[in-house]
Amino acid sequence: MEVILKEDVANLGHRGDVVKVADGYGRNYLLPRKLALQATETNKAVIAQMKASAARRSAAEKAQAEQLVTRLEPVVLSFTRRAGEQGHLFGSVTSADIASELAAQGFEVDRRKVQLDEPLKSLGDFTVPIRLHREVTARVQVKVLSEAIEETPAEAAAGEAAAG
Dump pLDDT digits (tens) for 2-14.
Answer: 998 888 888 898 8
pLDDT in tens, 114-164: 888 888 888 989 999 998 888 888 899 999 998 865 554 445 455 555 554
Class of domain 2-61: alpha beta
Residues of the chain with CATH 3.40.5.10: 2-61
Distance from C-alpha of 153 to C-alpha of 106, rounded to nearest angstrom? 41
Q: Is the pLDDT of residue 36 over 80?
A: yes
At the fourth CATH level, the homologous superfamily of domain 71-146 is Ribosomal protein L9, C-terminal domain (3.10.430.100)
Q: Decide if 30 contacts 9 (C-beta within 8 A).
A: yes
Please tell me the pTM assigned to this model. 0.60
Cα(83)–Cα(133) distance, integer angstroms = 35
**In the structure, what pLDDT confidence band is assigned to residue 32 with cuts at 50, 70 and 90?**
very high
Question: Which helix H or strand E contains 39, and what residues bound it?
Answer: none
CA 71 to chain centre: 17
Tell me the pLDDT tens digit for each residue of 60-113: 888 888 888 888 888 899 999 888 888 888 888 998 999 999 999 888 888 888
Every domain range in the chain assigned CATH 3.10.430.100 = 71-146
Look at residue 86 in the predicted model and tell me its pLDDT: 85
